[in-house]
C-alpha cells in the first residue's frame, strides 16, 4: 500500500484487481483438469470479448 500516493489510486486498483481476480480465480484443487480447462477457456474468451469493445 505504500506504493500508492493517494487513497483514490489504491481504491481504483483494488476494485479492478478484485474483479479480475474473481473472474479468473477457480479453485483448481476442487475440480478435474478437463473441467478446469473448460472454465479457464470460457473465462479467457469472455475477457477477450470485453477487451475488444
- Residues 6 or more apart in contact with residue 47 via CB below 8 angstroms: 23, 24
Q: What confidence tier does 35 reach under pLDDT thresholds 50, 70, 90? A: confident
Instruction: Find the helix packing angle between 7-24 and 33-52, rounded to 10°.
Output: 130
Q: What confidence tier does 28 reach under pLDDT thresholds 50, 70, 90? A: low
User: Could you give the percent of the chain with pLDDT greater than 70?
Assistant: 77
Does residue 26 surpass a pLDDT of 70?
Answer: no
Question: Quick one: cell of 49?
Answer: 470479448
Q: How far is CA 30 from the centre of its chain?
A: 18
Amino acid at each position: 500500500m505504500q506504493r500508492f500516493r493517494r487513497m483514490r489510486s489504491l481504491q481504483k486498483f483494488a476494485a479492478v484487481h478484485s474483479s479480475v481476480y474473481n473472474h479468473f480465480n477457480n479453485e483448481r484443487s476442487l475440480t478435474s483438469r478437463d473441467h478446469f480447462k473448460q472454465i479457464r477457456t470460457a473465462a479467457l474468451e469472455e475477457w477477450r470479448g470485453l477487451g475488444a469493445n
